[in-house]
Amino acid sequence: MLALGATLAVVIGVLLGMLGGGGAILTLPMLVYVLDAPPRAAIATSLFVVGVTALVSLFFHARGGLVRYRVGALFGAAAMAGAFAGGRLAHFVPEEILLIVFGATMVVTAVIMLRGRGEAKAENRELRVERVLLLGLAVGCFSGLVGAGGGFLIVPALVLFGGLAMREAIATSLFVIMLQSFAGFAGHVAHVELDPLLVGLVTACTALGSVIGALLGKRVSPGVLRRVFAWLVIAMGLFMLGKQLPLPILAVVALVALLGITRPWASALPARPAER
């Protein structure tokens, strides 16, 4: 299983490198269900892996001059405080609840990716410091609690309230994810026992994959890749929820997700002609 886990870690890294974020959400279920890591240790390991991989990916984006460090530092400082608090709070939350929250997060994230109708646009280029700090604190707390990078929340926040263009927001989000992931890891590490070999192996494989993904990213349609990835995330999220929830509740979650995905498609269909 260790070889399978290492292979999947490389694949997750490739997705991270090609998408600029998002692939990290698969790290936790891979650690729990493939490598049989305890949920709390898996969350801490996931945060460390995400932090290192974001650092590697950041190097490639920084070369293009797209990272806005001032905005990233503001958002990141608040996110670090929130992530550390979330990491400490996770110690008091039952493991089953953490897995349910993470599984639900996977489904919501994938639905948002599939529903995407274009890039978010900032109303103006003004930096709204108070909102950036508040959102950074909230996103960081969520990230530290469940072990997710939170890129799907960070990017639109940087566009709408940080005054950044979309490409700048994507690059800057990696800087924020790196900061908050390491802070969240610090919040967890005091009360979990980690396997250094497992942490090192998964981190190295994911970082290697992110380099490969960054080099391959220009050759694959990002739209197609994002849709395939989103369906994979939905399947994995429903699998995680199925391990923790009764079948009727799982069926309701799946139905709501399906409606969330198909609604924009249905609204785009031509109106049915009126019957005479």
Instruction: Please give the C-alpha separations between residue 221 and each of 91, 177, 197, 235, in angstroms, as whole numbers.
Output: 41, 24, 35, 22
In a domain, 219, yes or no: yes
- Could you tell me the end-to-end alpha-carbon distance of the chain, in angstroms, rounded to an integer? 64
Q: Domain count for the chain, please give it.
A: 1
Nearest to 162 by CA among 184, 139, 145: 139
In a domain, 238, yes or no: yes
The 3-state DSSP class for residue 165 equals: coil
- Crossing angle between the packed helical segments 39-62 and 69-89, to the nearest 10 degrees: 170
Distance CA 68, CA 60 (A): 14
Q: What confidence score (pLDDT) does residue 218 get?
A: 66
Q: Which helix (H) or strand (E) holds 21?
A: none
In a domain, 60, yes or no: yes
In a domain, 184, yes or no: yes
In a domain, 272, yes or no: no
Q: What confidence score (pLDDT) does residue 20 get?
A: 60
Distance CA 148, CA 145 (A): 8
pTM of the model: 0.75
Q: What confidence score (pLDDT) does residue 201 get?
A: 93
- Which DSSP category does 31 fall into? I
In a domain, 276, yes or no: no
In a domain, 145, yes or no: yes
Q: What confidence score (pLDDT) does residue 268 get?
A: 45
User: Which domain, by its residues, includes 91?
Assistant: 2-265
Other Cβ atoms closer than 10 A to 196 = 7
Nearest to 260 by CA among 134, 110, 120: 110
In a domain, 274, yes or no: no
Q: What is the pLDDT along the chain (276 residues), one digit of tens a residue?
A: 788 889 989 988 887 777 665 666 788 888 988 999 998 898 889 889 988 988 888 887 788 788 899 999 999 999 999 988 988 888 888 888 888 888 888 788 778 777 764 455 554 556 678 888 888 898 888 888 877 767 767 877 787 778 888 778 878 888 998 898 898 898 888 888 899 999 999 999 999 988 888 777 667 776 777 777 778 788 888 888 888 888 888 888 888 877 777 765 444 444 444 444
Distance CA 122, CA 80 (A): 24
Instruction: Please give the C-alpha separations between residue 249 and each of 100, 159, 245, in angstroms, as whole numbers.
Output: 12, 35, 6
